[in-house]
Chains A and B, each alone.
Chain A
Amino acid sequence: MSCSNFDWKGYALGELDSNARSQAEAHAATCAACREELATTRLTLDALSTLREEEVPRRIAFVSDKIFEPSPWQQWWRKLWNPTFAAACVVAAAILVHGFASYARASASPAEIQAQVNQAVTKAVADSEQRQSQQLEEVLNYVAKQNQLTYKSAFYRQ
């Protein structure tokens, strides 16, 4: 039985500071039980050290190996954060939004279409009537001028 004041396992493992080591060594010189304790601890540690390290059966894959390459989806996702790619995405999105808005405008309801047609027809009729009245007025003015000329020439002949 060794003396409980001394940490022989710590001593054998090299964990004691120089002061504690000196005290332990001085004690061991006079204590057979502690020498026995230290000897069996060292024998156990020596036995443990006979277990050799094994070789790694195959190389640990490097992070640069092909197996760690990101999937196409991951590559696309990473590209999304590239400024050029992101700008292209924004432009594409703007075109899509514009196209969708145009389509929405074009696809109005039948009632709205009928109203638009009616409005266009009314406008066309009004324009046509205005043009006709203008032409009629011009013709009447021309006829009136012609009548005046005829009257004047007859007067001078007389």
Chain B
Amino acid sequence: MIFREVEDRDLIAKARRGDVEAFNLLVSRWEKRVFNYLLRLVSNREDALDLSQDVFLKAYQNLPKLDDAARFSGWLFRIAHNEAFSMLRRRRPETELADEPRGAHFDPGRGLLPVELSLAVESALGRLNEDQREAVLLKIYQGFKFEEMAEILGCPVSTVKSRLYTALDLLKATLAPTLMRGES
């Protein structure tokens, strides 16, 4: 039996007509991606969960303002970006005091297990500044195009590319010793 997959745009159209269940289904589809994006950005599970909640509530309230249903993902991540950076700005003095990135003392040691590589990557991401890390998250983990990222971040494509390429150079330099050890 073939099940017809309900497209996001159908759900969005129904949700805009007041169908709450359709919006609930959208939440179920997108919550993992939004949560992981926010988790990597704010580095705190509870904060990421609270922010995810706020993102979907705002998305529901502002759904009538979404002009093009095909741009739902970018629009949703734009809300997530705004919520995350709003929180980060409020907490900046605290985070600056506790500026040690997660896993900063990670030492992969001899050999390289998948979990060790993941920890090395997490540590390397933690060393990037927020703008660079967000560019990596949107491109590598969420698969957005440069133009979509520019819309989400509210900046020119050239800025997006600059942030991402700088981040990749830093990641390459940070991860190189680990990767070399893994290859040996």
Chain A interface (Cβ < 8 Å from any Cβ of B) = 9-10, 13, 15, 40-41, 43-45, 47-64, 68
* CB pair A60 B31 closer than 8 Å: yes
Chain A CB within 8 A of B132 CB: no
B49 to A, closest residue via Cβ: A57
- Say what secondary structure dominates the interface of chain A: loop
* CB pair A44 B27 closer than 8 Å: no
With A9-B164, A54-B36, A56-B35 already in contact, the answer to whether A48 and B136 are too (CB < 8 A) is yes
Name the interface residues of B150-184: CB closer than 8 Å to any CB of A: 161, 164-165, 168, 171-172, 175-176, 178-179
Select which of B24, B39, B57, B140 is within 8 A of A54 by beta carbon. Answer: B39
Give chain B's interface residue range (CB within 8 Å of chain A).
35 or more
Chain A CB within 8 A of B85 CB: no
What are the residues of chain B within 8 A of A64 when measuring CB–CB? 20-21, 24
* CB pair A50 B175 closer than 8 Å: no
With both chains docked as a complex, state the minimum distance between the C-beta of A58 and any C-beta of chain B, in angstroms.
Answer: 7
A133 CA to B178 CA in the complex, in Å? 130
Chain A CB within 8 A of B114 CB: yes
Query: 5 tightest CB-CB pairs across the interface, nearest first?
Result: A64-B20, A62-B24, A44-B172, A60-B31, A53-B36
